[in-house]
Chain A
Amino acid sequence: NAGVTQTPKFQVLKTGQSMTLQCAQDMNHEYMSWYRQDPGMGLRLIHYSVGAGITDQGEVPNGYNVSRSTTEDFPLRLLSAAPSQTSVYFCASGGGISLAFGPGTRLTVT
């Protein structure tokens, strides 16, 4: 039981490049979400999904896309990276007491 896995752990991008952050869970949770964590700010919700084929925007969705083709996977795509997207990204699965976070991806955009 791996819980929530994220890849890569670290990534450096140049402005304008695109990339996909991968997230997978093996707990059969319907609800999955993506957060970003910036110094001095709480975790902020980017996008979330309540099940395969269903996604919705969170608090800070601009510049990011998501899709949910399976229950297990919830990738986050950066369309055209900007320095403002430098952050640590966390994928989460489940909710309430079953809420589980991945280890995070530290992204730097230069």
Chain B
Amino acid sequence: KQEVTQIPAALSVPEGENLVLNCSFTDSAIYNLQWFRQDPGKGLTSLLLIQSSQREQTSGRLNASLDKSSGRSTLYIAASQPGDSATYLCAVEGEKLTFGTGTRLTIIP
């Protein structure tokens, strides 16, 4: 059974810093990995999707990497801003879509 872990559960960093969020998964037989953002009381918004054949994807200040063999993905956020404060979830798609529990990110002005 696929298990997806995100550590830490919460993270606070000063505005302007670069930061990395981590995601690990137990079964490397995946089609893709996706990062989502969830604001309080809202649904999930897709940020980046990495196909299993890809190593990374970039969108603006966000860069996501995937190492299938080690079962790890990272989401790199450059020059963090208070508006980046949210919970970030990763999800891997194999037989089904399996979500991690998320990292709650707070950017301190």
Residues of A within 8 A of B (CB): 4, 40-45, 58-59, 90, 95-97, 99-104
Contacts and interface: CB of A to CB of B under 8 A. Distances in A.
Interface string B76-92: 00000000000001010
A16 to B, nearest CB: 28
Given A96-B32, A96-B93, A104-B41, A42 B99 contact: yes
Contacts, number: 44
Contacts of A96: 32, 34, 49, 93
Interface of B: 4, 32, 34, 41-46, 49, 89, 91, 93, 96-102
Contacts of A42: 4, 89, 91, 98-102
Contacts of A41: 101
A76 to B, nearest CB: 15
B34 A99 contact: yes
